[in-house]
Structure 1
Amino acid sequence: MTAVPAPDISIATFRSGAVAEIRIGDGSRRNALPGAAWARLARQVGELGACRSLRVLVIRGHGDTFCAGSDLTDWVDAEPGYVEESFAHMEEAFSAIEDCPVPVIAEIHGVAAGAGCQLALACDLRLMADSARIGMPIARLGILASPAFAARMVAVAGPSVARELLYTGRLVDARTAVALGLADHQVPAAQLTDRTGRLTAAIAEQPPAAIRAAKLAVGAVLGPQRTATAVNPRPAVARSHFGPAIAAFLGPSAAAAPDPPLAP
C-alpha cells in the first residue's frame, strides 16, 4: 500500500493500482470540508481516473464518519462570491466522480449529510453501515437546493423521496436508505470494510473494458438529466437568511470545536 497525504483528503492505492481509495478528512469536524478541499477532491479524482490501470475507486471517510458536508466555519463572514465559489467546487467534485471512467463506491460510516450526501449520491454504489445516516439538512440554513443536487436524489430515489428529504432536512437510517434507493446495501458496521473489499474485488476481476463500457452506458442514460441541471444556474444561498443562520447554527465557540453540528 502507498499513501499520499494531502490536507483534508488522503489517498491510499492498493493492488498495484487496480483499486484506489480516497479517504475524506482527517477524522476531526466529522470530516466536513472547506471549499478548497472540494476543489482538491475534484482534481484527485480526475488524476486517478486517468490511470489506465485503475479498475475501481473507493471513497470513505477518515475514522467513524463519512462526511458531514461543508465546513460551515469556512463561510463565517465570507464574501458572497467566496460562498458561491465553494458550491462550484463541490459540484466539480461530484461531477468528477460521475465522470470518472471506473466505478466509484461510497463506504458510509456515521453520517453522510448535505454535501456529504451529494458526495455519496455521485458514486455508483453506496454501502452503508447499519448505524449510518444520510440526508440533506440544508434548507434551515438558507441553502438553495440546486437542480444538480435534486437530480442526484431523484435519480436514485424518485421525486417524492427527494421532495420530502429536501423539504424536511430529515436524515434517514441505513435500513430506510436502502428501502428508498438512497443506498444499495446495509451492512453491520464491523463488517462494512470487508464487504466493500469483496465488492471491489468482484468488480476488479471483470474485464476492464467491459466495466468502463457499463459505466459509460449508464452515464449516457443519465446524461440528458445532468445536462438539464446545468442550464440557468441559480444562487447557492438565500442571502437574507444564510449569514444569520450559519452564525446561529455554529454558536459563538464553534470555530474552535473539533466536531461542529451536521453541515450542509
Structure 2
Amino acid sequence: MSYENKFVKVSADRGLAVVTLDRPSANAVSLEVYDELRRTFHRLGEDKQMRVAVFTGAGKVFCGGNDVNDFVDLDFDQATEYLAHVRLTFNAMYDCPVPIIGAINGGAVGTGIVLASLCDIRIASEKARFALPEIDVGVLGGSRHVMRLAGQGMTRLMMYTGRRLSAAEALQAHIVDQVVSPDELMPTAMALAEEIASKSPPAIRLAKQGLNRTEFMTLKEGYEFECTLTAAVRRTPEAKEGALAFLEKRTPSYAIRG
C-alpha cells in the first residue's frame, strides 16, 4: 500500500500505522491537505493488513485549523466546492474501518478540533488546547462534530465565543479521553494501539462499523444491528481462535491476512 503524500506522512508496521500531519509551521489545512487526508484514510481502510492508526501532528501543534489564506477571496460557488472536499475528508475519517487514536500534541483549533473529534479515542498532551475560533475569521466551523462529544452547552459556548479550552477543561468536557504529559503522549497512544492491534482484526473492524452505525439509532434498533454483527464475526476463523485461546488459557494468535 503506497502513501506518497506531501503533508500527511504515514509509517506502518505490523498492521499499525502512524499518520502525522506535517505542514509547518502550524499544520494548517489547505485544500491539498484535505485531499491527502481523505486519500490516506481511504487507503488505510482498504489495506486488509491494517489494524489500527495513530493520528498526530508534527512539531508543537496538532492542527492550527484551516489555512485562512484560502478564505480571503472565496466566493459562494468556490466555498460550496471547497466545503465538499472538507466533508469528504471528514467522512473518510469517521468511516475509516480501522480505529483511529488521536494523539493531540498541541493546539487543536477549528478544523483541528474536528479532526480530533473524528478519532475513535483521543489522548491529549497537557499542552494541548482546543477551540472553535471560526466566529472571529468570517466562517462557521465543525460544531456538529464537536457536539457529539461535548454536548450542546459547551459546544455553543465555544462556538459563540471562540474561547480556548485547556487539556484539563477538554477532559472535563469529554472532548478528550485522557491527558498525559508531553513525553508520555506517543508512548501512551502507541501502547493503546498495540493493545487494539492484538485483538481479532475482523472483530475490531465490525465493532467500529457497529459503533458508527448504532450511534444515532434507538436502543432497540442499535442492539438488533449489533446482533447481526455478532453473527457475522462468528463466521471468521479468528472467532474460533479467540474461543480456543480462552479455553486453553493462552494468548490468541491472529495472523495478518492479505
* Coarse TM-score class (shorter-chain normalised): 0.7 to 0.9
Deviations 1:191-219 (CA, angstroms, capped at 9, x unpaired):
10100110100100111122112211210
Q: Which sits farther off after the overlay, 173-182 or 153-162?
A: 153-162
8 A contact 1:120–1:126 mirrored in 2: yes
**Structure 1 residue 10 displacement after superposition:** 1.6
Alignment of 1:17-96 (within 5 A): 18-26=15-23, 28-96=24-92
Alignment correspondent of 1:155: 148
Secondary structure of 1:176's counterpart equals helix
Does 1:180 pair with 2:180? no
Specify which structure has the bigger relative contact order, considering alpha-carbon pairs within 8 angstroms and separated by 6 or more residues.
Answer: 1
State the alpha-carbon separation in 2 of the partners of residues 111 and 222 from structure 1. 28
The one-letter amino acid of 1:202's match is E
Secondary structure of 2:165's counterpart equals strand
Question: CA 1:81–1:224 in structure 2 vs 1: closer, same or farther (change >3 Å)?
Answer: farther
Which one of 154, 164, 171 corresponds to residue 157 of structure 2? 164
Segments of structure 2 that go 5 or more residues without pairing to the other structure are 219-258
8 A contact 1:36–1:89 mirrored in 2: no
8 A contact 1:108–1:128 mirrored in 2: yes
8 A contact 1:25–1:33 mirrored in 2: no
Alignment correspondent of 1:190: 183
What is the alpha-carbon root mean square deviation over aligned residues?
1.9
Alignment of 1:1-264 (within 5 A): 4-15=3-14, 18-26=15-23, 28-145=24-141, 149-223=142-216
**Structure 1 residue 150 displacement after superposition:** 2.8
8 A contact 2:29–2:111 mirrored in 1: no
**Structure 1 residue 188 displacement after superposition:** 0.2
Deviations 1:65-112 (CA, angstroms, capped at 9, x unpaired):
110111112333344433332222222111101101110111111100
- The percentage of aligned residue pairs carrying the same residue is 31
State the alpha-carbon separation in 1 of the partners of residues 65 and 199 from structure 2. 33
**Structure 1 residue 128 displacement after superposition:** 0.4
State the alpha-carbon separation in 2 of the partners of residues 66 and 39 from structure 1. 18
Number of matched pairs: 218
Alignment correspondent of 1:245: none
The one-letter amino acid of 1:171's match is R
Secondary structure of 2:26's counterpart equals helix
TM, length-normalised to structure 1: 0.77
Secondary structure of 2:149's counterpart equals helix
TM, length-normalised to structure 2: 0.79
State the alpha-carbon separation in 1 of the partners of residues 130 and 6 from structure 2. 25
State the alpha-carbon separation in 1 of the partners of residues 5 and 56 from structure 2. 15
Question: CA 1:223–1:99 in structure 2 vs 1: closer, same or farther (change >3 Å)?
Answer: farther
Deviations 1:27-64 (CA, angstroms, capped at 9, x unpaired):
x1300021121022111110111011111011111112
Question: CA 1:4–1:39 in structure 2 vs 1: closer, same or farther (change >3 Å)?
Answer: closer
**Structure 1 residue 224 displacement after superposition:** 6.0
